[in-house]
């Protein structure tokens, strides 16, 4: 029992460290991470949202990803992406990413933000 608590505590400390590292806005900007982030956006989000720099959202009212930083800080998406984004409308699927995918996704979002 004590061993499993120690393990759980270690995992939580590691996760907190990763969150702090990512929350400084220093998301990956290397080509592989950005391509991964774009691919995640295409697979999970492009059915409704504009996920590029110039495309149009397929669903009216679905915000273009390039404008998300105008609505709220991108780092505020870290926790919902890890736990599963759930919205008030029934058509949006619940999406949960792994830590590396969150960083890649947010790196891509950071890259495409309009001014």
pLDDT (tens digit, 9 = 90+) per residue, 42-91? 999 999 999 999 999 999 989 999 999 999 999 999 998 998 876 656 67
Token readout for 19 is 């969150």
Confidence category of residue 17, pLDDT binned at 50, 70, 90: very low
Beta carbons within 10 angstroms of residue 72's beta carbon = 9
Distance between CA 10 and CA 25 in Å, rounded? 24
Distance between CA 81 and CA 85 in Å, rounded? 6
Question: Count of domains in the chain?
Answer: 1
Range of the domain at 75: 2-112
Distance between CA 30 and CA 91 in Å, rounded? 33
User: Is pLDDT of 96 > 50?
Assistant: yes
Where residue 102 sits, what CATH number does that domain have?
A: 1.10.760.10
Distance between CA 7 and CA 47 in Å, rounded? 40
What's the rounded mean pLDDT across residues 90-97? Answer: 78
């Amino acid at each position: 029992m004590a061993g499993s608590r120690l393990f759980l505590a270690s995992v939580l400390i590691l996760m907190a460290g990763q969150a702090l590292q990512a929350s400084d806005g220093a998301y990956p900007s290397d080509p592989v991470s950005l391509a991964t982030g774009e691919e995640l956006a295409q697979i999970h989000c492009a059915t409704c949202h504009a996920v590029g720099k110039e495309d149009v959202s397929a669903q009216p009212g679905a915000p273009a990803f390039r404008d998300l930083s105008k609505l709220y800080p991108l780092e505020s998406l870290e926790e919902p992406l890890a736990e599963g984004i759930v919205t008030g409308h029934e058509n949006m699927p619940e999406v949960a990413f792994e830590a590396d995918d969150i960083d890649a996704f947010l790196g891509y979002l950071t890259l495409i933000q309009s001014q």
